[in-house]
Structure 1
Amino acid sequence: MIAALPLGCLDRREHRSGGEQIAEAAPPPAPGPLDVPPSARDAVSLQAGFAPIVSRVSAAVVNVSSVRFVRPPTPERIPFFSDPLFREFFGPRQDDGSDGQPLPGPRVQREQSVGSGVIVSREGHVITNAHVVQDASQVRVALPGRPEMKAKVVGVDARTDVAVLKLEGGEFAFTPFGDSGAVRVGDFALAIGNPFGIGQTVTQGIISAVGRGNMGIVDYEDFLQTDAAINPGNSGGALINMAGELIGINTAILARGAQGNQGIGFAVPSKLARAVMEQILEHGRVIRGALGVAIQDVTPALAEALGMPPDTRGAVVSDVSAGSAAEKAGLRRGDVVVALRGEHLTDGRDLRMRIAEAKPGDKIELRVLRDGRSVELTATLDELPEPKPEEPVQAPASTGALGVEVAALSDDLRRRFGIPDDVKGALVVGLGPGSPAARAGLGPGDVLLEVNRKPVASPEQLKQEVDATGARPVLLLAWRGGQTRFVLVER
């Protein structure tokens, strides 16, 4: 099985006003004080190489760095904490050095990621990959020849791995959108980005394939494939045509055990990236139509089993959601959708992409094959619900004197660990090996309610009260499994 992975990171509503200018595919922007003259349209020659193109667009390709806090994976062999809820929360065990019983280590880790991005409007809109900036607490952008600056995350669409950032501070050089639909296999392409965090790098190749899907990378896949060398850190960088136009956002590479370039990279086509950006700028999110079916591709064997010609192309309906647009339209399990709005479908990916491009409330005509006959149906699309975001992971507060790390009690954590709403305090998420807190018998999952008989309702309050104690022993009141007990921690 081919494994394709997002390029990833190293180490690891704002509305558009009428005056803002979004880059157009054609004609190219007129030369201005921030624009390199359009010499990229000159014919590529052996003498000039690709330098005219690179000089035109390189100022608009930026480095993107972000900081976020993540839950590290946990070994399976943790006694008591082998429950899935605890395994997801706690990190690897460590020996506390006292009674020989291992204790879970810190649960939350700081992760710094490095990727790339492309400025696509004079006002400073940047397109990058969602996985570069998603759940980040801080995002910064470094422009060629300019100081690093903070960037605002305007919106993220994980279903296409596209995110939009906004820079402030005047006008910016930008790269115009090209027509990714006109890209042909064999066309030259340049990949520009920040591989391995070493700085802006340009590589050259060709378009190896178009319309790549079913890679298991994101929900909506219509990738351009290229052999231009792209590596970790290229995420969000530019794939450029010979007119100096943006035709794709570099997103993933083929991975078969190796970590770097193997000559097979994937880019979100500019047409899709631009459509996502425009919806984010207008609505703050991407609004998609929903039919309410589970589908799969028609294979010759499946077509034969369903009593259809082996060359049948389209999407087999394997399930229909109750109350959905599909059910109301009369779609049934086993139907093969072969055309949408009079246009033939090639496979399930084709149907999925076309439905996603439609709007809620749109009426679509479907032609399906059912029991050897053709049936015409009309469906009124629902709105595809937004995926429920995970609760942001906050950095744990550390009380260095006690050797314990604590986190705020969120609704998610209360639900996961069965902590009642009336329990107020700070949740223990990690203990240092041989620390005073570990020797006193505290463990991950305990909730610290009091410090020296003073109630604490947050990690910040806990740390403040512990620091005020100085070098004296600290009397804690801890909640564990529905019971409270006093714990004396001596330094």
Structure 2
Amino acid sequence: MKTSVLKSQHRAIALLFAFCLAVAATLQTTNALATMAPATSKMFVSVVKKAKPAVVHIKVEKTTKARAGSPVPEEFFNNPFFEQFFGPYYRQQHPRQKEFKQRGQGSGFLISKDGLILTNNHVIEDADDIKVVLSDNREFEAKLVGTDPLSDVALVKIDGAENLPVLPLGDSDKLEVGEWVIAIGNPFGLSQTVTAGVVSAKGRSNVRINDYENFIQTDAAINPGNSGGPLINGQGEVVGINTALFSKTGGYMGIGFAIPINMAKSIEKQLQTEGKVTRGWLGVVIQDINEELAESFGLDDSKGILVSEVQKDSPADKAGLEQGDVILRLNGKTLKNVAELRNKVALISPDSKATLLVIRDGKEKKIKVTIGEQPSDFGRKGLPGTANILKDFGLGLQNLTPELAERFGYQKDAGVVISDVKPDSPAALEGLKPGYLIEEVNRTRVSNLKELRAALKKSSSTKRILLRIRAGDYSRYVVLSKK
């Protein structure tokens, strides 16, 4: 009996002791969090105080043409083909195109005391007038130094202000997932707005925002107007340029993207010295490797980038790179995917030497290559299988595959995809772009290239065609005339 009582007492004492330890640990954790919270808050306050003076508001004005009441170009109504159906007086019933001023806004940040400002290309693209408002509300006319649409980076400059506040540029390669970051900008015209969050991911590509993508993903709120503003780390250094939000509704959904500052640095230097960006070029068609491809090529895993084609007389061809090679490293650095290789090669200066580590026939091999200069028409040559039926009008065409239908949001067999638009061609002058869909040719419905050819053969004129074009949820008629 005594033994049983003693055991019960011991258990009670043990439970009490454990409870006391738990309470002590909880109090210790609570005290630690209570101590950390003000420190973290003060850190944010300190960083923002130093950064805000160097963040600017950018206002732009651009001239746009539109015809009231209709999205259809005026040229369509001047077409005799159109009058044939609606009579000769129809043309007079429609107002002519008018020019109007379109206003936009965004953000930017100062990187030099004499007024150099980094921002996004889409903030200032096609602007007739650029104004910069500083944090102290002083307003300056700005001039465009240079812009790079492929990466969405632009450099502008203001004159007349001296000893301006500057934001230090950090090292985005050292940024870690989970690290706190701060976004400053002017969303919805609300100046000097601050949001904070963590880095959700690095190296995001295939987002289909820019041609060259290596985005930092963050849950710090990035909204319209934040574009071009800085993404800042806990040390007050710029690690990215806020670019876009991912949203299916137009509202903030916790996913924002920023251009890594290391990419922007290289582009900024070229914009400042040359006013444009010259990119490196290998001359290969490449693809990521999945498990099936790895097995087919006798690889141990799916690491590396497969060379599916080598362009004749390209730098890769001259260096001895072959179809079927698997690229593992560039200049000693392991490559994750196609986007990373493409980005890294593009940032290498033409005529520079580079070393590729590849696997060929199961063996590793080093190949030294002299990087070439990216051709001016790179990326505008169209998709594989491009047809030149309408080349005289500046169009390259392709059948609508299930993959392309899903990519652009079209229904299967809905038309023919525009895969290439030649600059300064009749198609380009009418604003047609790769990805648009041709639904009709001369009032005849077409769902593939064969039907498009047949529709053209029925036409009485080879110098002018009427197309119905779809872009997203909207379609319009366009008349193309040969020069």
Contact 1:228–1:265 (CA<8 Å) still a contact in 2?
A: yes
Is the partner of 2:39 in helix, strand or coil?
A: coil
- Structure-2 change in CA distance of 1:387 and 1:191 (3 Å): farther
The Cα of 1:51 is off from its aligned counterpart by: 2.0
Q: Mapping of 1:38-53 within 5 angstroms?
A: 45=39, 48=42, 50-53=44-47
What is residue 247 of structure 1 aligned with on the other side? 239
Aligned twin of 1:367: 357
CA contact (8 A) 1:121 1:172 kept: yes
Is the Cα contact below 8 Å between 1:96 and 1:102 reproduced in 2? no
Shift of 1:341: 2.5
Deviation at 1:321, TM superposition (A): 2.2
| Counterparts in 2 of 1:47 and 1:330: CA distance versus 1, 3 Å | closer
The structure 2 residue matched to 1:276, chosen from 254, 267, 279, is 267
| 2:200 is aligned with 1:235 | no
Residue type at the aligned position of 2:304: G
Q: Is the 8 A contact 1:76 1:82 kept in 2?
A: no
2:214 is equivalent to residue 219 of structure 1: no
Measured in 1, the distance between the counterparts of 2:211 and 2:426 equals: 31
Counterpart Cα distance in 1 of 2:258 and 2:333: 26
Determine whether 1:299 maps to 2:299.
no
Is the CA contact (8 Å cut-off) linking 2:202 and 2:217 kept in structure 1? Answer: yes
1:49-79 Cα deviation digits (max 9, x unpaired): 6222211110111111112234679989889
- For residue 120 of structure 1, report the CA deviation from its aligned partner: 1.1
**Equivalent residue, structure 2, for 1:56:** 50
8 Å CA contact retained: 2:74, 2:96: no
Equivalent residue in structure 1 for 2:164, among 164, 172, 187? 172
1:381 deviates by 1.1
In 2, Cα distance between equivalents of 1:335 and 1:104: 60
Shift of 1:107: 7.4
SS of equivalent residue, structure 1 residue 379: strand
Correspondence for 1:129: 120
CA 1:102–1:55: 2 relative to 1, 3 Å: same
Q: What CA distance in whole angstroms lies between the structure 2 residues aligned with 1:75 and 1:305? A: 54
| 1:264 corresponds to which of 247, 252, 255 | 255
Q: Quote the Cα distance in structure 1 between the aligned partners of 2:428 and 2:167.
A: 46
**Quick one: distance in 1 between partners of 2:176 and 2:41?**
25
Match of 2:173 among 176, 181, 188: 181
Change (3 A) 1:287 1:78: closer
The aligned residue for residue 145 of structure 1 is 136
What's the CA shift for 1:239? Answer: 0.7
1:11 maps to which residue? none
Contact 1:44 1:50 in 2 (8 A): no
| Cα distance in 2 between the residues matched to 1:417 and 1:146 | 40
Distance (Å, rounded) in 1 between the aligned partners of 2:56 and 2:87: 45
Helix, strand or coil for the counterpart of 1:45?
helix
Normalised to the residue count of structure 1, the TM-score between the two structures is: 0.63
Q: What runs of 5+ residues in structure 2 fail to find an aligned partner? A: 1-35, 80-85, 381-422, 431-480
Following superposition, the deviation at residue 208 of structure 1 comes to: 1.1
CA-CA distance at 1:312 after TM superposition: 2.9
Distance 1:145 1:389, change over 3 A: farther
Q: 1:76 to 1:196 in 2, by over 3 A?
A: closer
Q: 1:140 to 1:301 in 2, by over 3 A?
A: same
Q: 1:375 to 1:413 in 2, by over 3 A?
A: closer
Deviations 1:301-355 (A, max 9, x none): 222233323x231212233223211111222333221222233222112211221
Amino acid at match of 2:149: A
Pick closer, same or farther for the CA change 1:222–1:359 going to 2, 3 Å.
same
RMSD over aligned Cα atoms:
3.8
What's the CA shift string for 1:417-455, capped at 9, x where partnerless? Answer: 89xxxxxxxxxxxxxxxxxxxxxxxxxxxxxxxxxxxxx
- Counterpart pick for 1:320 among 310, 333, 341: 310
Letter in 2 for 1:251: T
- Cα separation, partners in 2 of 1:80 and 1:229, compared to 1, 3 Å: closer
8 Å contact from structure 2 (residues 77, 91) kept in 1: no
Q: Which TM-score applies when normalising by structure 2? A: 0.64
- Higher Rg of the two aligned structures: 2
Within 2, Cα distance between the matches of 1:389 and 1:151? Answer: 31
The one-letter code sitting in structure 1 at the alignment partner of 2:222 is I
Gaps of 5+ in 1: 1-41, 87-94, 391-410, 419-480, 483-491
Partner of 1:393 in structure 2?
none
